[in-house]
Amino acid sequence: MKHPLIVGNWKLNGNKNTITNLIIALVNNLSNISKCNIAVAPPVMYLDIVRHYLLDSHIQLCAQNVDVHFSGSFTGDISAEMLKDLHTRYVIIGHSERRIHHKENDVYIAKKFSILKKIGLIPILCIGENKNEYDSGYTQSICINQIKTITKLIGVEALKNSVIAYEPIWAIGSGNSASPENVQAVHKFIRDYIASCDVSVANTITMQYGGSVTPENVIQFLNQKDIDGVLVGAASLKADSFAAIVQIAEKYEQLHHS
Ligand code: PEP
């Protein structure tokens, strides 16, 4: 049985002082956790500061982005090797905010996926539909197409041991999370699709839900068979709410899978 994976995406927030306080509080509040995998994704320039506080903690480091090149004349970019150098374990790619604001498409995201696999970092591949697509009933086809680009370009094997975060764009930062039953149906559809390509790969994939997850609603998501964790934005910026989400997941695991 996989432990649930809880990741906090801090996006473009904080400064040296607030980030230091946040990570110190999380390390203190989450020292008892043994049944959840936890990671935090600070802005890239604070990765090393956060890493310093994680040395004696089981909280892992996650990056919010990576470039498609290993090195060279790419001003302003950050390579997978640099992230690995700082002991980063996970990297978020395909987040809808990068797809929208930086025009990143599925092929470009597949390149990032490939680079991360080559270097031994774990991609957290974000997928999901916008409101119009949701209203028109295209959720499943949108999600499958986003995954298909990767399986076509680099093969289904590449998905082994990776993380897929289903994040309906309309649920992100809106305060309106998707219904846990709908998320379960989407996750099952995706896992079944991957299983139709390769069953052994499908079983290794961690499937997270993301979109307005809070301490109040997280249990409903964790209760679903195909939801293996959550990707948390706004609620991860406060130590109390992110720690509460993780503690709820820990208790759930103790009750159901010990
Ligand atoms: C996100 O941006 O990945 C996210 C899930 O944000 P929020 O929790 O704020 O909806």
Question: What's the distance, Cα to Cα, between the start and end of the chain in Å?
Answer: 10
Going by alpha carbons, the residue nearest to atom 1 of ligand 1 is: 233
Token pair listed for 161:
């041991």
CA angle 62, 68, 69 (to 5 degrees): 110
Residue for token pair 């990576």: 66
| Residues with catalytic function | 95, 167
CATH top-level class for 5-257?
Answer: alpha beta
Q: What are the DSSP calls for 47-97, one per residue?
A: HHHHHHHTTTSSPEEEES---S-SSSS-TT---HHHHHHTT--EEEES-HH
- Interval between CA 251 and ligand 1 midpoint (Å): 23
Q: Is 167 in the pocket of ligand 1 (CB under 6 A)?
A: yes
- Interval between CA 174 and ligand 1 midpoint (Å): 9
- What number does the ligand 1 atom closest to the CA of 97 have? 2
Going by alpha carbons, the residue nearest to atom 2 of ligand 1 is: 233
Going by alpha carbons, the residue nearest to atom 7 of ligand 1 is: 233
pLDDT of res. 1:
66
pLDDT in tens, the chain (258 residues): 689 999 999 999 999 999 999 999 999 999 999 999 999 999 999 999 999 999 989 999 999 999 999 999 999 999 999 999 999 999 999 999 999 999 999 999 999 999 999 999 999 999 999 999 999 999 999 999 999 999 999 999 999 999 999 999 999 999 999 999 999 999 999 999 999 999 999 999 999 999 999 999 999 999 999 999 999 999 999 999 999 999 999 999 999 986
| Gyration radius of the chain's alpha carbons | 17
